[in-house]
């Protein structure tokens, strides 16, 4: 029988998690993410505090803040907000609020006198507001007025017949595949001093993929899973089986708006260079890894340029991605291929479950380190 080397604290944490899961199963009507279960919609509150912890992840973004009371004592409060997806639509990112920042928040207080608040509005020290504290006017649209001015910039998905070729349909990314680990050229990796420092301090458990976070670009460029392309007129829609991940490649000459928030697949603009070459430039990426070995990616300073050269028979393509990033002294290159396949499986990928990730952390005694960064 295999013996697990667990610390007493890890055992206690494991027991707590199991008990919590059993308790949740015993109360199926009360969803564990329910707002009403934790917060009182009729009990407004506001507070000002110093941020001590940031967890920018779904299903709810969470912060911890130290609040100084009138008598000089300090209380530890938990703040919850909407999902990452919702907040990003307001240009509210993982870097918007940092540990050490002083913030003012308003919202609904926790039930039973708990030191919790669900954030509806937030004001940073520089006066920037989010949610109900934002000074930007809300955009209203009459959903029944199909000819309203608000709809004049919407695309209805007609194909663009001026493109030199039709690339819609399924594509097999396993063509000319190689493992996306240590596959970038040149060698040795041309680190900057900061890039090398980050890489040497990276642990395998830092891999976003282990927590079921979408790999995004540039890693998704190199994976072997199938994908489909749809021509929507002013853009191509790439739909990757990996993490059921959509990506839009704008083809109408637009540039990223000034308030574009970073995402896992970034903001992509493309053009046909000639009759068989599609060029795509992507910016506004989230920080992450360039490959499975942990080569760091800054996100904010990362840019990728893809050149997709289609064969004369239009049944395959050679793809090259060039990555520029401030963690490296020169661009890095990744090479792959595409091939059409009439029976390719582009069905939805099964949901990712991070249970094994947290089990490994429990067994290695690192659970607290990763739950309390």
Asked whether residue 148 is assigned to any structural domain, the reply reads: no
The answer on 115 and 180 residing in a single domain is: no
Domain residue limits at 66: 35-131
Considering the domain architecture, whether residues 175 and 309 belong to the same structural domain is answered as: yes
Mean pLDDT of the chain: 83
Higher pLDDT among residues 69 and 146, named by residue: 69
Residue 70 in domain: yes
Beta strand residue intervals within the chain, DSSP E: 39-55, 62-68, 74-80, 102-110, 116-123, 129-131, 169-172, 227-231, 235-240, 245-250, 267-274, 277-283, 288-289, 296-297, 303-310, 316-324, 332-340
Q: Is residue 15 part of a domain?
A: no
176 and 120 within one domain = no
Q: Which of 31-35, 40-44, 97-101 has the lowest mean pLDDT?
A: 31-35
Does residue 208 share a domain with residue 127? no
Q: Are residues 232 and 125 in the same domain?
A: no
Region of poorest pLDDT, from 23-27, 122-126, 220-224: 23-27
Average pLDDT rounded to a whole number, residues 276-286:
97
The answer to whether residue 349 is domain-embedded is no
Span 155-212, pLDDT tens digits = 455 788 889 999 998 898 889 989 899 999 999 999 999 999 999 999 888 888 888 8
| pLDDT above 50: residue 279 | yes
Q: How far apart are CA 167 and CA 220, in angstroms?
A: 19
3-state secondary structure of 164: coil
Rounded distance, CA 126 to CA 280, Å?
36
Residue 180 within a domain: yes
Same domain for 220 and 284: yes
What is the structure's pLDDT at 197? 97
Residue 67: which CATH number? 2.40.50.140
pTM value? 0.68
Joined tokens for residue 316? 């395959």
CATH of the domain at 224: 2.40.128
Is residue 175 in some structural domain?
Answer: yes
In terms of domains, do 233 and 186 share one? yes
Tell me how crowded residue 368 is: count the other CB atoms within 10 A of its CB.
Answer: 13
How many structural domains are present in the chain?
2
Q: Encoding tokens for residue 295? A: 């080569």
pLDDT band at 65; cut points 50, 70, 90: very high
80, part of any domain: yes
Same domain, 104 and 193: no
89 and 222 fall within a common domain: no
The reply to whether 212 and 296 lie within a common domain is yes
For the ranges 33-37, 129-133, 297-301, 362-366, the lowest mean pLDDT is seen at 33-37
pLDDT at residue 217, rounded to an integer: 95
Residues 180 and 265 in one domain: yes
Q: Is residue 151 in a domain?
A: no
Residue 9's pLDDT is what? 45
Let me know whether 113 and 50 are in one domain: yes
Q: Which pairs with CB-CB distance under 8 Å and at least 24 residues apart come from 250-254?
A: 251/160, 251/163
H or E element that contains 347 = none
């Amino acid at each position: 029988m295999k013996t697990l080397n667990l610390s007493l604290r890890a055992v206690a944490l494991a027991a707590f998690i199991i008990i919590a899961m059993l308790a949740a199963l015993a109360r199926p009507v009360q969803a564990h993410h329910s707002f009403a279960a934790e917060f009182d919609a009729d009990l407004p509150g506001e507070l000002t505090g110093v941020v001590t912890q940031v967890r920018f992840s779904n299903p709810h973004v969470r912060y911890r803040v130290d609040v100084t009371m009138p008598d000089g004592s300090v209380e530890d409060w938990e703040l919850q907000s909407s999902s990452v997806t919702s907040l990003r639509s307001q240009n509210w990112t993982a870097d918007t609020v940092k540990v050490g920042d002083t913030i003012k928040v308003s919202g609904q207080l926790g039930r039973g006198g708990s030191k919790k608040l669900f954030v509806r509005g937030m004001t940073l020290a520089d006066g920037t507001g989010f949610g109900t504290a934002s000074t930007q006017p809300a955009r209203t649209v009459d959903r029944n007025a199909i000819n309203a001015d608000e709809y004049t910039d919407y695309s209805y998905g007609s194909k663009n017949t001026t493109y030199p070729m039709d690339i819609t349909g399924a594509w097999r990314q396993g063509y000319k595949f190689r493992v996306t680990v240590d596959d970038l050229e040149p060698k040795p990796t041309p680190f900057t001093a900061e890039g090398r420092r980050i890489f040497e301090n990276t642990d395998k458990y830092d891999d976003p993929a282990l927590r079921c976070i979408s790999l995004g670009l540039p890693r998704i460029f190199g994976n072997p899973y199938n994908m489909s392309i749809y021509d929507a007129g002013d853009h191509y829609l790439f739909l990757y089986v990996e993490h059921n991940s959509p990506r839009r490649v704008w083809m109408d000459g637009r540039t990223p708006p000034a308030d574009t928030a970073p995402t896992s697949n970034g903001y992509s603009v493309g053009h046909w260079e000639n009759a068989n070459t599609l060029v795509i430039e992507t910016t506004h990426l989230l920080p992450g890894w360039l490959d499975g070995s942990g080569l760091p990616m800054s996100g904010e300073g990362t840019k990728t340029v893809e050149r997709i050269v289609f064969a004369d028979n239009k049944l395959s393509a050679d793809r090259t991605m060039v990555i520029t990033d401030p963690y490296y002294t020169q661009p890095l290159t990744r090479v792959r291929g595409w091939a059409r396949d009439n029976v390719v499986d582009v069905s939805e990928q099964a949901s990712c479950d991070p249970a094994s990730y947290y089990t490994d952390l429990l067994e290695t005694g690192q659970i607290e380190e990763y739950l309390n960064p």
